[in-house]
C-alpha cells in the first residue's frame, strides 16, 4: 500500500508491519477497532479505570455492583499499599491480584467486544 510521507512514496505492507509488532511481543486484537481500558491502581486514585483520553467514574455506565467493587479495590490499594515496602503481606497482595482478575472479567463482560480490558497489576512486582 503506497503512502506519501515527507514527499516520498513509501511502500507499506500492513501484514509485514503487524508481524513486526507481534515479533516484538505486541498483541493482536481480535477486533482492531476495539478501545482499550486499563484496570490499574495508582496512588490516591479512587477510580481504577484508565483510558486515553482520561476518564472518570461518571463516564462509565456500569452496574452498581461492579462500580462498588472497583471503588473498593482502589480503596484497599490506597489504604494498604506502601510505595516503599509494597503490600503488608503476600496474602493481601494475592487477594488484591485475584480480585483484579475477577474485576477484569466482569468489566469485560459488561463492556462487551467494543472494549479490551487490560489488567495492569504493577504492584505485584514489589516484595511483600
What SS3 string covers the chain?
CEEEECCEEEECCHHHHHHHHHHCCCCCCCCCCCEEEEECCCCCCCCCEECCCCCCHHHCCCCHHHHHHHHHHHHHHHHHCECCCECCCHHHHHHHHHHHHHHHHHHHHHHCCCEEEEECCHHHHCCC
Please report where in the chains the cell 503488608 appears, as a residue: 88
What pLDDT, on the 0 to 100 scale, is given for residue 21? 67
Domain boundaries, the chain: 30-125
Q: What is the largest CA-CA distance in the chain?
A: 59
Tell how far CA 118 is from the center of its chain.
3
What pLDDT, on the 0 to 100 scale, is given for residue 128? 45
pLDDT by residue for the chain (128 residues), tens only, comes to 554 555 555 566 667 766 776 777 666 655 555 689 999 999 999 999 999 878 888 999 999 999 999 999 999 999 999 999 999 999 999 999 999 999 999 999 999 988 989 999 998 764 44
* Predicted TM-score of the model (pTM): 0.72
- Which candidate, 16, 87, 75, places its Cα nearest to that of 42? 75
What pLDDT, on the 0 to 100 scale, is given for residue 65? 97
Rounded (5°) CA angle 31-28-39: 80
- Which candidate, 22, 14, 52, places its Cα nearest to that of 35? 52
Amino acid at each position: 500500500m503506497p503512502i506519501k510521507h515527507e514527499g516520498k512514496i513509501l511502500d507499506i505492507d500492513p501484514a509485514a508491519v503487524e508481524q513486526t509488532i507481534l515479533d516484538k511481543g505486541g498483541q493482536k486484537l481480535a477486533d482492531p477497532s476495539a478501545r482499550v481500558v486499563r484496570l490499574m491502581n495508582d496512588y490516591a486514585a479512587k477510580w481504577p479505570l484508565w483510558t486515553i483520553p482520561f476518564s472518570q467514574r461518571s463516564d462509565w455506565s456500569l452496574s452498581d455492583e461492579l462500580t462498588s467493587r472497583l471503588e473498593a479495590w482502589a480503596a484497599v490499594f490506597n489504604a494498604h499499599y506502601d510505595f516503599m515496602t509494597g503490600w503488608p503481606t503476600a496474602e493481601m497482595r494475592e487477594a488484591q491480584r485475584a480480585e483484579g482478575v475477577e474485576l477484569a472479567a466482569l468489566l469485560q463482560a459488561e463492556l462487551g467486544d467494543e472494549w479490551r480490558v487490560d489488567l495492569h497489576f504493577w504492584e505485584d512486582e514489589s516484595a511483600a
